[in-house]
Structure 1
Amino acid sequence: MSNFDPNAILRGAQLTLVGAHRALQNPELFTTTHYRQAAIAVCAGLAIRIILNIPIYAVKFMLLVTSLFVNLDHETWDDKLVNGLDFISKSVLQVPFFLMMVMSSITPTLDNLFMDSLAWVDKTYLQKHKSDDPSTLRGLYHPTLKVYSTHGARERKERRSPLDGLISVGMKYGRRAAISLAIYTLTFAPIVGPLVLPAASFYTFNKAVGPVPAGIVFGLGFVLPKRYMVSFLQTYFSSRSLMSRLLEPYFSRIRFTKQQKKVWFMDRSGVLFGFSAAFAVMVKVPLLGVLIYGIAEASTAYLITKITEPPPPPGSETQVFIENEVRWKNKHLLLNLPLDKLDEFNARLTGAENVTQQPSVPDTPRRRFA
């Protein structure tokens, strides 16, 4: 429960606000290149949304034709049918979120955005502490991470094409969507239907965050209406998937094993959920979803400096660093930090671009979260 307690979730939500504020201060975020890529992503997202919603459009068209021969003004089944299809599309199948996954898999834009934002976080950190003793400052993230390759040994031999990435995302989404649709359909079954959502939620939460949160969600499954329960569960699942995508630029460089990454996420589960939940909801907004996704990626650069230590240069120390990084040793320090100490806002950042890079040195608790 300690990894997923309310304090951890609240601290993650606070990091969302501070990280977004920091990201939006970065002038590189508003370059022509990012605007052009964002416009392309929005157009591609609209095209994919239209294609995936063709079955819904077909049903609506059939209802329109039916209304020419049958008076549906006093009927409610047609509205329930359309609303039900919209709910399945947005909340059960998570079509808007699938669009974000597609965008991140076929373009390097988000990786570039993450690294540009990480450089900005380092610059503002140095600017804020330019009068401090350099030996008390934390190490820098961007200069080291940019040296790491984003491809593993196997991937260097055969690099996947964008089409392969799209197929991989499509298969993962298709499997998840099929499971979600099957569970939602089973909720209408007689006798066992009311038990399906609570049981499925307990099984998933128990694996991800432990038995206590799973038990709470299991109890809520018998109290909350099915529609709200489905929305809550899918928000949780989409926030996890979103967080995994947002952290991909980091994990593509610092390569944890599957088991190490699982423990890494579990140890930080509360903060990560608090950070990603609001973004997971906002990316569903038509047209603006892709732009929100970009801000989320830029904000993740700030988050990574709070929940990890600065990595060493590529070499023999990397594996030792990864093994030590699996468990979050500074968790209680971050969670118990007063809100006004979480970040020192400084609106006057002129000259930050001219800050001279200082050498990386070990962190100290006094400066770790400034």
Structure 2
Amino acid sequence: MSNFEPNAVIRGFQLTVVGTVRALTNPELFKYDHFRQAALAIAVGIVIQLIIQIPILSVKFSIWLLSWVVNMEDALWDDKLLNGLEFMSKSVLQVPFMLMTLMRYVTPTLDEIFMQSIQWVDMTYIQKHKKEDPNQLRAMYYPHLKMYSNKGGTSGFRPIPEALMAFFHRYAKKIGMMLGLYLLSMVVIIGRFVMPAASFYTFRNHVGSTPAAAIFGAGLFLPKSYLVTFLHTYFSSRSLMRELLEPYFSRVKFTPEQKRRWFRDREGVLFGFAFAFTAVMRLPYIGVLMYGVAQASTAYLVTKITDPPPTPAESEGFAESQVTWANKHDFLRLSLDNLDKFNVENGRSSTDSGAPEKKFS
């Protein structure tokens, strides 16, 4: 199953819980404008959802009028049509969540939350290990990371209109794909195979052919709505994780190929981390408020799956050294209560040549 082994996904979920608890203990988190913006996103989302409901209400009214001249008691198509429209509006479009993601491109608040949270993680780490020899502790993340410009990393700097267009293109592509699959699944005879086949194609390269075939087989018997929700959550998790890591990649310069390999080597943990947040964010209204907490928790995640960055002047070769997660197997074997006790001296992996041995406090 390559990098998508079950223990990696479970560890990602555990990091969600620990990272959230760590983020919520930070008193500075709630001083940011994020929650005001989240409330605005909820309000705008409600308005848009009401607009989306107009065609649904129109269809309901048309069916009601039709029922006066046609016997609809034995008909099934009207229920399927209405259920499909309701499902797409609530489970596929996810308007408030989309608006919260959009906020990244018009305000620096989420970037500020990430950096402040990185600083909080460093402060908490020092406090937890204050009785130990400082020379044996890992290097800090915040002091060097703040030296990097947030416009010089992998993503580079793009004008806001260009960044917004790229965002809407990705969002429209994802929604279009999901709607296309949903409509194809309604075709007679072949419809029942569309979602299982899409699931197999999506997961074969990530989890292997055998697990993907098991998903395909289960999809032939499960209700279609389950598979649509499953696929939508999977793609949303991937998109969410990339958005949450944007403050890191906007500073540390990776080439597109290096970034692709970086994600590939950590995809199990990243999926487990993002999947948990994606599931919570599907909750009406509350989910949007959790976006800032997810961004803060990502700071904790970064300190577990990367090494502390050097200064910008010494950063040549750092990105390539991070593509492969050197301590992955050691970290995945740690017990849950030892997640915070994996020390790396001076920012160098203990598996590197000449580096010091790992310590567990």
TM norm. shorter chain > 0.5? yes
Task: Pick the aligned partner of 1:278 from 270, 276, 279.
Answer: 276
- Superposed CA deviations along residues 303-323 of structure 1, whole A, max 9, x for unmatched, are 1111111111113x4241111
Q: Secondary structure, in 3 states, of the residue corresponding to 2:291?
A: helix
- Where does 1:26-175 land on structure 2 (aligned, <5 Å)? 26-31=26-31, 33-60=33-60, 62=62, 78-152=78-152, 159-161=158-160, 163-175=161-173
**Which residue matches 2:218?**
220
Residues 16 and 275 in structure 1, CA contact (< 8 A), matched pair in contact too: yes
Of 319-328 and 211-220, more deviation after overlay is shown by 211-220
- Which residue number in structure 2 is paired with residue 180 of structure 1? 178
- Judged with a 3 Å threshold, the aligned counterparts in structure 2 of structure 1 residues 220 and 104 are, in CA distance, closer, same or farther, namely farther
Determine if contact 1:37/1:109 at 8 Å carries over to the other structure: no
In 2, the alpha carbon distance for the partners of 1:45 and 1:137 equals 46
- 1:237 Cα deviation from its structure 2 partner: 0.9
- Write the deviation string for residues 317-352 of structure 1: whole angstroms up to 9, x where unpaired: 4241111111111111111001121237xxxxxxxx
> 2:17 aligned with 1:20, yes or no?
no
Amino acid at match of 1:269: E
Residue 338 of structure 2 corresponds to residue 341 of structure 1: yes
SS in 1 for 2:272: helix
Aligned-partner Cα distance in 2 for 1:252–1:169: 16
Give ranges in structure 2 of 5+ residues lacking alignment: 351-356
CA distance in 1: counterparts of 2:44 and 2:359, whole angstroms: 43
- Displacement of 1:103 in angstroms is 2.6
Aligned partners of 2:42 and 2:285 also within 8 Å:
yes
Q: How far apart, in 1, do the equivalents of 2:153 and 2:340 lie? A: 38
Question: For residue 349 of structure 1, what is the aligned residue in structure 2?
Answer: none
Aligned to 1:5: 5
Report the CA distance shift for 1:361/1:168 in structure 2 as closer, same or farther (over 3 A).
Answer: closer
Q: Percent identity?
A: 53
Letter of the 1:89 partner, please give it: S
2:9–2:272 Cα contact (<8 Å) kept: yes
Residue pair 1:148, 1:314 contacting (<8 A) in 2 also? yes
CA separation in 2, counterparts of 1:154 and 1:139?
A: 23
Partner Cα separation in structure 1 for residue 53 and residue 312 of structure 2 = 46
Deviation string, structure 1 residues 241-263 (Cα, Å, up to 9, x no partner) = 11111111111111222222221
Q: Distance in 2 between matches of 1:152 and 1:134?
A: 32
Change in 2 beyond 3 A, CA 1:180/1:319: farther
**Which position in structure 2 is the counterpart of 1:268?**
266
Mapped partners of 2:74, 2:193: distance in 1: 34
**1:138 and 1:363 in contact (8 A); partners too:** no
SS at match of 1:324: helix
Kept in 2, the 8 Å contact 1:139–1:363? The answer is: no
Instruction: Measure the CA separation in 2 of the matches of 1:33 and 1:66.
Output: 50
Amino acid at match of 2:145: L
The alignment of Structure 1 onto Structure 2 pairs a total of residues equal to 352
Name the amino acid aligned to 1:118. Answer: I
**C-alpha separation between the residues in 1 aligned to 2:80 and 2:154?**
50
| TM-score using structure 1 length | 0.84
1:82-108 deviations in whole A, cap 9, x for unaligned? 322121223344445433332333222
1:283, distance to aligned residue in structure 2 (A): 1.3
State the SS of the aligned residue for 1:286.
coil
Task: Output the amino acid matched with 2:319.
Answer: I
Q: Measured at CA, do residues 188 and 77 of structure 1 come closer, stay the same or move farther in structure 2, by a change above 3 Å?
A: closer
3-state SS of 1:268 partner = helix
Kindly provide the CA deviation profile for residues 271-316 of structure 1, in whole angstroms up to 9, marking residues without a partner as x. 111111121122122222221111111111111111111111113x
C-alpha displacement at 1:68, in angstroms? 8.9
Residue of structure 2 equivalent to 1:354: none
Going from structure 1 to structure 2, the CA distance change for 1:194 and 1:73 (only over 3 Å counts) comes to closer
In 1, are the aligned partners of 2:2 and 2:208 still within 8 Å (CA)?
Answer: no
Coordinate RMSD, CA, aligned? 2.9
SS at structure 2 position matched to 1:14:
helix
Q: Is the 8 A contact 1:122 1:142 kept in 2?
A: yes
Q: Is the 8 A contact 2:32 2:109 kept in 1?
A: no
Partners of 1:342 and 1:117 in 2: how far apart? 18
- 1:204-252: CA deviations, max 9, x gaps? 2234444344333233222322211111111111111111111111111
**Residue in structure 1 matched with residue 354 of structure 2 by the alignment:** none
Unaligned runs of 5+ in 1: 345-358
CA–CA separation in structure 2 for the residues paired with 1:261 and 1:204: 20
Q: How far, CA to CA, are the matches of 1:203 and 1:75 in structure 2?
A: 35
CA distance in 1, matches of 2:163, 2:68: 45
- Aligned-pair CA distance for 1:151: 1.3
1:269 CA displacement: 1.1
1:53-93 Cα offsets, whole Å, 9 max, x none, are 54334434555777899998997655443322121223344
Distance 1:32 1:193 in 2: 47
Q: State the alpha-carbon separation in 1 of the partners of residues 142 and 235 from structure 2.
A: 30
- Is contact 1:93-1:180 (8 Å) kept? no
Question: 128-137 or 50-59: which moved more?
Answer: 50-59
Rounded Cα–Cα distance in structure 1 between residues aligned with 2:295 and 2:60: 36
- Contact map agreement 1:46 1:287 (CA 8 A) in 2: no
**What is the TM-score normalised by the length of structure 2?**
0.86
- Alignment partners' CA distance in 2, 1:155 and 1:226: 37
Q: Paired residue for 1:351?
A: none
